[in-house]
Structure 1
């Protein structure tokens, strides 16, 4: 099972900052997950919320702020300040970790709609990453998945299903030909048959309890997003160790 650091090592460092990403990338895990939005000036930045109030010392909506203004804000702590990262900044960091994977979640709804996927694609194209298997696009928005199929058909596309879809979309109708499907740990435990449905790999979010990590592994989950990737790596490594002793019938003793 592939462990993915949700917003970096967000349990120990401010989410989506260089400190959180670098700490996660040093772990023996598969990769990291980020959330991206567009600024007023068209920059793709790593910010989860539509407003910056929770994650910085500033205020305002990301789509109404320019990059220069965002760079003046502190996204860390007073003791360890952190600047906002653009997607290009994060891709620069990843050059130091060529074996790690990046899961880019495009956040919707937003005022610029289609422009977000267009700008992400421009960045990937400029950097020669349009066919890189280490890059994955994920989104809760079906139109975003459809746009990425058109803009970058070689890039892995994972549709994250919302909890309400078990009522609003019971037949799991999709557009954009996703290459993988996302599922919350809560919905997965309610309906385990959704894991691996239609032969597609499953991206499970956001799994922070150890018992749920082991349950996900036993259910055959492909990708596990967690705020505790360090704990997940240790737990799954420990649980995968072969038995030290076995009797003649192959049972552990």
Structure 2
């Protein structure tokens, strides 16, 4: 089985720029790719902030949890120097900034928003994201994904048609049935895509969106296995 495989920039062009920053998304947008992937959490005052880790320590000069700071306080942190000094003083963007930027692009592409609510419960995150997408009339260009299945159930209850992706890790024996129940596709790693479960998912008509593929050999292997999307830190390699 060989499919036409689309490319999403994982946390933007995160192989060469600090992940989940505006510059990483802007640089990814210079390539002929199908979309970008990003992560969203809530600040103390309920602002949707684009950052992967629940803690600030790895990708900023801040310490502690995102949820414990207001967005104004989060803006004081440097989200670029950890990657390289040339990116000093890049800030954590709001989700609204990314959607606004994507909305204004001449060539439209998909924004895959991962709700980072599998470790911390962010009250009302699903509603906030859906409301923002509706405000920008951006629904046709969005995929909402999460490892938190109950969060996806909630999203589907709130919106019957928005595209959603069930995030899994490893060989998940009930992923197909759970995804079908909420009309979702599956976001998985290479191991699942190449497994009998992955083959069964494709036969069931589900899309497989595979993270994180960073070399051409892996790309060819998962493409031949029927991957519909690959997410990569290096969109320049696959555009």
Matches within 5 A, 1:203-242: 203-233=209-239
**Structure 1 unpaired stretches of 5+:** 234-253
- 1:124 is displaced (CA, Å) by 1.4
**Paired residue for 1:11, among 10, 15, 23?**
15
Q: 1:150 to 1:189 in 2, by over 3 A?
A: same
Distance in structure 1 (CA, Å) of the matches to 2:30 and 2:176:
40
Corresponding residue SS for 2:188: strand
Change (3 A) 1:60 1:175: farther
Structure 2 counterpart SS, 1:165: coil
Q: Is residue 165 of structure 1 aligned with residue 172 of structure 2?
A: yes
Map 1:156-195 onto structure 2 (within 5 A): 156-163=163-170, 165-166=172-173, 169=174, 172-174=177-179, 177-191=182-196, 192-195=198-201
Q: TM-score, normalised by structure 1?
A: 0.84
User: What SS does structure 2 have at the residue aligned with 1:120?
Assistant: helix
Distance of aligned partners of 1:177 and 1:114 in 2 relative to their CA distance in 1, 3 Å threshold: farther
TM-score, normalised by the number of residues in structure 2: 0.89
How many residue pairs are counted as aligned between the two chains?
A: 229
Q: CA RMSD in A?
A: 1.9
Assess if the C-alpha contact under 8 Å between 2:35 and 2:109 holds in 1: yes
- The structure-2 alpha-carbon separation of the partners of 1:110 and 1:223, relative to structure 1 and needing over 3 Å to count, comes to same
Partner of 1:123: 132
Q: Which runs of 4+ in 1 moved over 3 A?
A: 110-114, 169-176
Q: Report the CA distance between 1:200 and its aligned residue.
A: 1.1
Counterpart check, 1:50 vs 2:62: no
Structure label with greater radius of gyration: 1
Which of 100, 116, 133 is equivalent to 1:92? 100
After TM superposition, give the deviation of residue 53 of structure 1 in Å.
0.4
Summarize the Cα distance change of 1:175–1:199 in structure 2 as closer, same or farther, 3 Å threshold: closer
Displacement after TM superposition at 1:187 (Å)? 2.6
Stretches of structure 2 lacking an aligned partner (at least 5 in a row): none
